[in-house]
Amino acid sequence: MAKYFSAKRQKYRDIMANARDYATWRDAALELDYLEGHVEWKESYVSPLYNYELIYNRLMELRTAHQRHDNMTLIRSLREGLHHDLGNMGNPQLYQISHVGTKHLIEEYVNQVCESIDYVCREDLPELPAKQKLDFFKDTLLSFGRPALLLSGGASLGLFHLGVVKALWERGLLPQVITGSSVGSIMAAMLGATTDDEIPEMLDPNKHNLKAWRWMGFMNGLMGKGFMDITQLESVLRSNVGEYTFLEAYQRTGRSINITVSPTHHHQKARLLSGYTSPYLLMWSAALASSAVPGIFPPVMLMKKDQHDNAIPYMPTLRWVDGSVVSDLPVERLMHLYDVNFTIVSQTNPHIVPFLNTRPSNVKNSLLGLPARALKAEVRFHGAALFNNLRKMTDVEILRQSFGQAYTILAQRYHGDMTIAPTYTFWHYRRMLSNPTPDMVERLMLEGERATWPKIAMIRSHSKISQALEKAVRVLKQRLQGKKPELRVINR
């Protein structure tokens, strides 16, 4: 009998590993949860991992007020009782036990909150007139916070990001705030220019011009002109992104796109380009600069639109390069600009992924691994200090840039609250700088989806309430104003 159940468990593990869609993966995961006894764990509210009594009481309060149409109690309960990660319900350990989902109490609570938000938004309530209702949801969203999706660099391997995007979008979990660096900036810019109705076409491997690499010769690279043709990359970007500024893209899709670029001048700092900081900047130009890997492509001058919609230089004396060099994941900047409370990182940098721990940051690590982690932290700290001093001491520009890049690689943080990353093989490294074929795109996208599916439950617990609040603000704004959003890039 034990052999029979072992074979059956292996069968479902194989189905999950080879699934080509979420429904197939989820069905197998549910069967595996049943065989391994996780169903009972999910159905039981009790656990030392979270404050189940607090969440149960909040659930009953909301449910009772909603069912009785006790509008004032419901409104006050939503305003003062909504807190991100209430009762530690986002504890990563709650999402490590079963293969799919978590405690049903958490799922019921999130569903009830979203239903109550929708009810208050949809119904005409004498207790909350329309203008006050909009202010109510703005304030609640500001207090609660929102998730963000961060897409790293990774050259052609960054097509993995499209699979992550697909998995989140199909489950209604794609954040409104999206940032990217290097190849991640290209994916972010494409999302910024793509409406929800157009996303299926964007996710079709056969629909895009992805031939960004064209060799320019060895001597061009040595002379500082880049080994690859920057005009080829620009052509690919403009065909996939269009001629939208950050502001125009937000007005078209409602997505707040952010792109990091790194300076070439030592008196400049890295910048996060967005509808806040650079509303008239052309998105393709920002993505081009963010993708200009030093040595591979030459530095880029940014372009913007003037009041007559003509493309003109933006800070013409400055040049910019790959955003991942200095700021691959600008988490703190996003927190300040958008009240971000949960970061989902899709990390594909080939020099980072092999050393990356994709476990959520607050999962307890074994004491057995403490010496290795301490040694790693020491090497990272002293290595960063060494390269920082070397870059300041040398006057040779190529050495200064090399030491500077080594310093920023060691000094940066490459993970988020939730980190999604591929498993690289020799196949991946061989294709890192190659023009992707549709088959390569399809493979990398599927890898991105499969890496995301096990994390859906945790992402949902952290994101769904924020998205319900964002939707309420958007609906009420349209109802009151009957026009497109103004310059403000987030709904405050």
- Active centre residues (catalytic): 182, 322
The answer to whether the beta carbons of residues 82 and 468 sit under 8 Å apart is: no
Whether the CA torsion 258, 181, 165, 230 is positive or negative: it is positive
Q: What are the angstrom distances between the C-alpha of 112 and each of 62, 64, 78, 118, 210?
A: 7, 10, 11, 10, 43
Contact residues for 58 (Cβ-Cβ < 8 A; gap 6+) = 77, 81, 86, 109
Helix pair 230-241, 183-192: axis angle to 10 deg: 30
